[in-house]
Structure 1
Amino acid sequence: MSRPSRLRTAVLLISAVAAILPSAAATAAWSEPRTALADGCGKTPPQPPGTSALQQIRSGGLDRTYQLHLPADYKSTKDWPLVLAFHGRGSTGAATEKFAKLSTLPAVVVYPNGVIGTGEGDRQAWQGAPYSAPGVDDVAFTRDLLDSLERTLCVDDRRVYATGKSNGAGFTGILACAMADRITAIAPVAGAFYPNGISCRPSRPVPVIEFHGTADATIPYTGDEDRGLPAIQSWVRQWADRDKCRKSLPQRQIGADITITGRTDCQGGVEVEHVAVSGGGHTWPGADSYSGGGVTTQTIEAHEVLWRFVRDYRLPR
């Protein structure tokens, strides 16, 4: 893409993203100042600022790992937002960090690693999928991980955002159902939303922004009845219904392949958004290295769009 074309796209993105940000009223309702810092504030971090490194935690009788990225300007005297990024089946946290660009955000970013599940090959996976490791409670692992991070790092426990790709994206949906007390907002990309038997009764309205390619051959946009996968638009509508959203946002178009729809006037001042990538594959929008099969749009950068959506949301006290 030529430089002038990139500039025009940037202008379109800025104007379109402005329309999908939480309203001023919502921001005010969710952004009261904190009165106390986390336990990890004032402590020396486990690695130097500006680095990514593999860390370990014991959870559920297992040694679990995660890739931790600290911003270059990380200091333990202020609390930082926290982004959890869950890899797809057979991938790793480190691999996800390479293509997702989340480590460029002004946040502490954690890329957990799943446990090897069932099926062909040694493929790490997350709870809720038919191929996940039997008996592994990844929801409990996420709670343990957050507890550990809050003890060792200066992070804002009211600004914990979860994103992920494919199976990892599907797991963010489970976290929104089961851990709305700890997860502020979710941003699944190419999500595999398998039926999982977990009752979805979140304790509060959860902001959601979902990205999906209409030509995704792995997790079809229109659903897959044989695997119990819902149509993506139906899954988004279910979240809008849970959040009791009453109004539709005006449809926005970015370039030739990005359509943004959503619902607003929801309980708690949240919004629910859907970013459809026309002709997009099982990929991470904006990735400049391999992130899955099919076309990868460069019209938007998923990490930028999801950050603008989630960053002003905070858990209520």
Structure 2
Amino acid sequence: MLSRVLAAVLIGASVLAPAAPAAPPAPSGPAASATGTCSGKSDAEGGTTLRHQIHSGGRERSFRVHLPEGYEAAKPSPLVVVYHGRGNSAELTQGFSGLDGLPAVVAYADGVIGTGDGNRQAWEGAPYSAPGVDDVAFTEDLLDRLAADYCIDERRVYATGKSNGAGLVGILACDLADRFAAVAPVAGAHYATGHPDCTPARPVPMISFHGSADATIPYVGDPGRGLPAIADWSSDWAARNGCRHRRDGIPLAEDVTERRWVGCRKGAEVRLVTVDGGGHTWPGADAYSGGGYTTQNVEAADLMWDFFRRHRLPR
């Protein structure tokens, strides 16, 4: 899968396992450094998916953890936290995203049923979010739990999500810039009500993905619904990061181009990957991920990992 994406750039399974008993809490910090070791962590085998519950904000929340092949309980691994779209789930997103193939621990979180029709799970920051649910605080609790249970390199923690989940990722970039090294929204629903005053503690590297023909979250925006044009939203992030230059039309595949903002403070570059004719979908997904055209010429999972691995939190 990775080779296909790298080739495109040059030219222009989880096993379900029963929930493991929680490991005793362990301090974060030095034990989770890239050069350190861990102790007292889960000794679950690599290549497995584990289901967990966590108490946060007065309610029980659920999440899934996929351990990469070769995972070692004493060797720090990078972490990717994943947020599903409205009405979707951690399990379904794990199925279509291709993120299990990354050399990282991947945590798939479940939202809370929000307002509106269909009793659909949602995240903070949207008109249909569940009242009184603080998903930023939930994320902090989740990161603490993951660092206690698994051997995590806390300088290499990343976030991605789709649609409403991608909207939350944008909020996390604002509020938890000290915990995420880089983020990757996919088909992001960035409602204006989600975070009107975004002042991150540090410049946050970001790569976004969006289809030009997305009928659910339009690429050109929808002012009536409080949705910005995607290029404008990315440009605003580039301004926050102090980026000085922009490169347009970088070809990644016959139907995929990239815009890059570079010369940014602390090397916090911003990228926007656009799928020509793409729908409300996850690039490279082999299963249904939303309405409209899904390109198979790039894999969002591989492109974002190539981006993530370039960035770490400062010491």
TM-score (norm 2): 0.89
Would the alpha carbon gap of residues 263 and 7 (structure 1) be closer, same or farther in structure 2, given more than 3 Å must change?
closer
CA distance in 1, matches of 2:80, 2:11: 25
Gaps of 5+ in 1: 1-5, 17-34
Pick from 209, 220, 225 the counterpart of residue 222 of structure 1.
220
Note if contact 1:38-1:151 (Cα within 8 Å) is conserved in structure 2: no
- Could you tell me which residue of structure 1 aligns to residue 8 of structure 2? 12
Say yes or no: does 1:131 pair with 2:128: yes
Q: 5 Å matches for 1:1-317?
A: 11-14=7-10, 36-38=30-32, 41-45=38-42, 47-196=44-193, 198=195, 199-249=197-247, 251-317=249-315
CA distance in 2, matches of 1:113, 1:260: 30
Query: Offset at 1:256?
Result: 2.2
Q: Alignment length, in residue pairs?
A: 295
Which ranges of 4 or more aligned residues in structure 1 deviate by more than 4 Å?
6-10
Would the alpha carbon gap of residues 92 and 8 (structure 1) be closer, same or farther in structure 2, given more than 3 Å must change?
closer
CA distance in 2, matches of 1:279, 1:193: 20
State the Cα deviation string for residues 197-255 of structure 1 (Å, max 9, x = none): 53200000000100000000000000001101000000000000000100113531133
Query: Offset at 1:288?
Result: 0.6
AA aligned to 2:181 is: T
SS in 2 for 1:280: coil
- Percent identical pairs in the alignment equals 55
Query: Offset at 1:7?
Result: 8.3
AA aligned to 1:69 is: H
CA distance in 2, matches of 1:201, 1:136: 21
CA distance in 1, matches of 2:230, 2:56: 32
SS in 1 for 2:283: coil
Would the alpha carbon gap of residues 78 and 214 (structure 1) be closer, same or farther in structure 2, given more than 3 Å must change?
same
CA distance in 1, matches of 2:283, 2:314: 31
AA aligned to 1:37 is: A
Q: Using the TM superposition, name which of 251-260 and 293-302 deviates more.
A: 251-260
Q: Using the TM superposition, name which of 243-252 and 301-310 deviates more.
A: 243-252
Query: Offset at 1:50?
Result: 1.2
AA aligned to 1:13 is: V
AA aligned to 1:125 is: A
Please report the RMSD computed on the Cα atoms of aligned residues, expressed in angstroms: 2.0
Note if contact 2:178-2:202 (Cα within 8 Å) is conserved in structure 1: yes
Would the alpha carbon gap of residues 14 and 112 (structure 1) be closer, same or farther in structure 2, given more than 3 Å must change?
farther
TM-score (norm 1): 0.89
SS in 2 for 1:187: strand
